[in-house]
Structure 1
Amino acid sequence: MVFRSTGQAGASSAGDPYTPNHGNGGYHVESYELDLDYRVNSNRLTGKASITAVAEQALSRFALDLSGLRVSKVTINGRRVQRFTQRSGKLHITPSSTLMDGAEFVVDIQYNGNPKPEDSPWGGLGWDELTEGVIVASQPSGAATWFPCNDYPGDKAHYRITITTDSPYHALANGRLVSRRVKASRTTWVYDQAAPMATYLATVQIGRYDAVDLATAPVTTRALLPAGQLREFKHDFGRQQDMMKLFCRLFGSYPFGGYTVVVTDDDLEIPLEAQGISVFGSNHVDGKRTAERLVAHELAHQWFGNSLTPSAWQDIWLNEGFACYAEWLWSEESGGLSADQQVSKAHTRLRGLPQDLLLSDPGPELMFDDRLYKRGAITLHALRLHLGDDAFFELLRSWTKKYRHGSVTTADFVAQAAQFSADQEALRELFAVWLGGYELPALPRRARKR
């Protein structure tokens, strides 16, 4: 989905009301090639971005998102632009001649500075320093803290990310490691992410990590760990491959070429998902599996959120409700509480909380509210009861297959579910009360076992 604007000037917002200062209209991006040089001790980033885009209308000027970094040079198709300015987190570009509707163009941008998180209603987002290294956590609108981009979830693109940094540090980005070159005290890492990716899922992780190979089937899985954490990690993440097998069976084939778990040496309030990568804090590794539900949650995001990405943030329940339900499916599979029991427990808790959340459009202030996660998961369980297990899981597999590496909406999911229901009126009522109403509906009376 690409938002259009009118006139020859590309709009400086893509039209998502949840992040109105991010995203840009008038074009869509096909690929980002980022060449980054980062000095850990001084937190100095020097970058070159080559962005291939297609005009969605005639453009006499357009904008990209970039926050806190200074641009020194801009060219389009190899020619210097007539003018560029930076203000309020935007890079405004005036080409030397109007870009025609449908034209493909390449914008090359040189920039530098000391990257830092961007303040937002959800806390600091984007590029952030660790005690030793870097973490990048951009959801929903922090990507512009480290590269110029069209920062909204509906514009997915191919990425090639090159990172040069100090040799003691391991640098990770999304996709396949294409090459690693050591020159003196510096190492250059090149990653290629062929599957389309939203800006908020692009990441760089830098730290003094040991690389550990975990599995080759059904998915190549690795971990980057601080020294001394391997024993506890192997216990806490020891059932991750069983989760992978379960989710591949229930949700369909894993959507990417591999999966990497990073454990930072610092504590993190919550784990973070990126495409093909999940990031945990050292506090999530204690040798007691106390964070195992989060291991399942982040893995499930590879299907729900990373392969199937919401076109707009109002549909974030398609990320979080599905990942939360995956936690409950894993609990049931591994001998913990059944999905029915998890639903009953969560429903009882939600009944005692304010009834002011609309799942299909929660608003920016509630988009990460725990009630959205739980109500989204309960909605899926209600749908499971309506359809029966065979049809429900066939729906999930068809959902992930049809929209693999694409952008999705709640309306898309409702339409997909309708193909599996023998009672369309009951299905419409189910979605009306669970997605379109504030008041928490009663639980369905009868549960079906998977």
Structure 2
Amino acid sequence: MKNLLFLSLFILTHFTIFAQISDSECAIGKIEAMQKRLQNAKLQGNQAADNNIDVSYYKLDLSIAYTTQSVKGEVTINAKSKIAELSQVTIDLQNALTTDSVKIGNSKMPYLHQSNQILINLDKKYAENQLVSLVIYYHGTPGSSGFNSFVFGTHNSQKDLAIWSLSEPYGSSDWFPCKNAVDDKADSSDVWITADKYYVSVSNGVLQKVVENQNGTKTYQWKNRYPIAQYLISIALSNYSEYKNSFKYDGVNEMPVTHFIYPESLTATNKLALDKTVFMLDLFSQKFGLYPFIKEKYGHAQFGWGGGMEHQTCTSISSFGETLIAHELTHQWFGDKITCKNWENIWLNEGFASYGECIYTEAIGGKVAYDNYIKSFMNSAKTAKGTIFVQDVNNINEIFSSSRTYRKGATVLHMLRGIVGDDVFYKILQTYISSKNAYSNATTEDFQAIAEQVYGQKLDYFFKQWIYGESYPKYKMQWSSQSQINGSYKVNLNISQTTGTNLTFFTMPIQMKIAFGLGDTTVTVFNDKASQSFEILVKDKPVNVTFDANNWILKDIETVNILANEPVFGDTFGLNVFPNPSSDEINVSYQLPKNATVRISMVDFSGKEIFKSVEEKLTQGNYSQNIKINDFPAGTYIINLNVDGQNESRKLLMVK
């Protein structure tokens, strides 16, 4: 009884909060705040990183002073040589910061810091796979690129102080020396933060120790032992209140879920929203596989930037909308455990996280809520310009396009789910997240290969058009039906489409819902032409055909016509003219209950015969004949079928 009561209250509170979710809270604050600040911004300093090294470890030992808005740092970088004789390395660090020295062991290395990079001469030539360990000492006021990568801010009506980082996509080198490349994850990291004792200092992984120093500062020592991309290393400092929970993931063991929240924000309403993090951890662990950093933690650190950022094990967040929480948590699998190999493939991060919102919405609100949520994404996706595969990664608005990267990216996953079905879809996600790409990087090709492996069929047509192509299909559908000798019915479909791009058509399986007087059935047709006809046999007389009834496809339906095939005279032979209206060619089909002599003719409305077939003697059965009509002017015509002197007729509308 206690569990039932809890479940009832749980569902009630979920639906109450869900009803209040606004579009700006659905991980969209992250996008739109960026767009307001960075109208047409071009990223500077997106330079090629040093591909001669493979970073294995970062240790950031930082002293941060709010009064001078400065950082003094000692950063250790361990890296393996990727070439036979490595004598120099290049480390990324913005010119706004001053390099004081570079050491290997106790020896200082000669270096040149210019053009936002440090060129370091090594103490010897390092063989391939040999480890080099650098310690870089630096100081200064961090610069800021992208989303404002390092900020000295305030909260509580500017009464209280806060400091935070947000390095995506290229901002890591604004505040610490690193190899600024998304495709080179360190195997582990440590972040030590020394600041005034006023601050609670938060970073990735597990807090090992807090040291109270004699000069009125505290040092927080954070340890992460999972692979991590450089832009996911983060710091957040303020007078946080801690709100703690836990995630029991196997019935016995627990992982801490800790939220670092501004005191004025720790309200009952926000606690209720944060409490749902545990439900989401359980939900997504079921859907994707166990939370990927289970030996460490998850939680949030509040910051002053509008939206959220999926820093590994500790999302930075400004507000507490449920779908924003769900979006950033989904990133721990898609973005953090598996990170896009380059920013051209950012949809593998953001499209997947946006679809996490949909999965959560479905879990708490059912199919209707899911359908409405994905419909809003589809409406936005229709406004997207360009390809999901980002063409200009030096433009932040291109990388983080809300309509294309986020919403259209999520819609692609929705469409893939429609093609393969729920069971296969979630198996694809689980296989992907546990593949060779786990704790590493991936491209669209990697995800496609796994999707095809699990599904057992090629999906090249799907990814080629939706990821590397533009726009979406605008369909026209016509249908008619005719009775058959055995009492069944044949449904005739004609599907045509336009795209508005150089992609002439989209290849897609389309679910057609055929309704009868009682009941319905759903049949899938594979549409792989710009104009295509299908015949479907059904047992009962159809009264309606619904195109893509479950809204699996990003599309417009410009017209859905029931063909004008009402009898002009007779209904003995099931005469059917398709497509109707037509502009080029028609198919005339009929059935003979017995052997007979047959002739087909076509007359205009003045009664003039403009087409006549050869008279044929045919046996019992079903027949069809294609007739070219493109030479005739637009107008209304009559198609006549003469069977042993008995006539049956249909109207035909000719269009140009």
TM-score in same-fold range (> 0.5): yes
Root-mean-square deviation over aligned CA pairs? 2.1
Equivalent positions of 1:39-438 (< 5 A) are 39-57=65-83, 58-67=85-94, 68-81=96-109, 83-117=110-144, 119=145, 122-124=146-148, 126-131=149-154, 132-157=161-186, 158-184=188-214, 185-218=216-249, 219-231=255-267, 232-256=269-293, 257-264=296-303, 266=304, 268-281=305-318, 284-285=319-320, 291-335=321-365, 337-351=368-382, 353=383, 356-364=385-393, 365=395, 366-371=398-403, 372-402=405-435, 403-424=437-458, 427-438=459-470
Q: In the TM superposition, what whole-angstrom CA distance separates every residue of 1:136-195 from its partner, at most 9, and x where no partner exists?
A: 000001111221100111111110111111111100111111111112311111111110
| Contact 1:329–1:338, Cα closer than 8 Å, also in 2 | no
User: Structure 2 regions of 5+ residues with no counterpart?
Assistant: 1-42, 155-160, 250-254, 475-507, 511-547, 553-656
CA contact (8 A) 2:46 2:170 kept: no
User: Among the aligned pairs, what percent are the same residue?
Assistant: 27
Deviations 1:183-222 (A, max 9, x none): 2311111111110100100001111101121224234211
Give 1:40 shift. Answer: 2.3
Structure with the greater alpha carbon radius of gyration = 2
Alpha-carbon contact 1:174-1:192 (below 8 Å) kept: yes
Residue 416 of structure 1 aligns to which amino acid in structure 2? I
The 3 A distance-change label for structure 1 pair 318 and 166 is: same
- Note the C-alpha offset of 1:388: 0.8
Residues 378-437 of structure 1, C-alpha deviations (whole Å, 9 max, x = no match): 11111111111111101111111123211111111000001122432xx22111211121
Asked whether the 8 Å contact 1:433–1:441 carries over to 2, the reply is no
Question: Which 10-residue stretch deviates more, 268-277 or 69-78?
Answer: 69-78
Aligned-partner Cα distance in 1 for 2:286–2:180: 33
Q: Aligned-pair distance for 1:311?
A: 1.3
| Contact 1:210-1:224 at 8 Å conserved across structures | yes
CA distance in 2: counterparts of 1:22 and 1:220, whole angstroms: 38
Contact preservation (8 Å) 1:385, 1:446: no
Which amino acid in the other structure matches residue 153 of structure 1?
V
Q: Is the 8 A contact 1:153 1:200 kept in 2?
A: yes
- Is 234-243 or 376-385 further displaced after alignment? 234-243
Paired with 1:179 and 1:22, the residues of 2 have a C-alpha distance of: 37
Aligned residue pairs, count: 415
Q: Which has the higher strand share?
A: 2
Larger RCO (CA within 8 A; separation ≥ 6): 1
Q: Contact conserved, 1:18 with 1:314, CA < 8 A, in 2?
A: no
Match of 2:50 in 1: 24
Alpha-carbon shift at residue 362 of structure 1 (Å): 4.0
Match of 2:624 in 1: none
Instruction: Kindly indicate whether the alpha-carbon contact (under 8 Å) linking 1:77 and 1:105 is maintained by their aligned counterparts in 2.
Output: no
Aligned to 1:7: none
- Cα offset for 1:345? 3.0
Structure 1: give runs of 5+ residues left out of the alignment: 1-16, 286-290
Q: TM-score under structure 1 normalisation? A: 0.87
Distance 1:304 1:323 in 2: 7
Alpha-carbon separation, structure 1, partners of 2:297 and 2:71: 28
Q: Distance in 2 between matches of 1:78 and 1:183?
A: 26
Distance 1:375 1:302 in 2: 20
Given that 2:327 and 2:356 are in contact with CA atoms closer than 8 Å, whether structure 1 keeps it comes out as yes
Q: Letter of the aligned partner of 1:409 in structure 2?
A: T
Matched residue SS, 2:315: strand
State the distance in 1 between where 2:203 and 2:472 align.
41
TM-score normalised according to structure 2 size: 0.61
Per-residue CA distance 1:242-297 (angstroms, 9 max, x = gap): 21111111011000121021123x4x22211201111122xx25xxxxx2211110
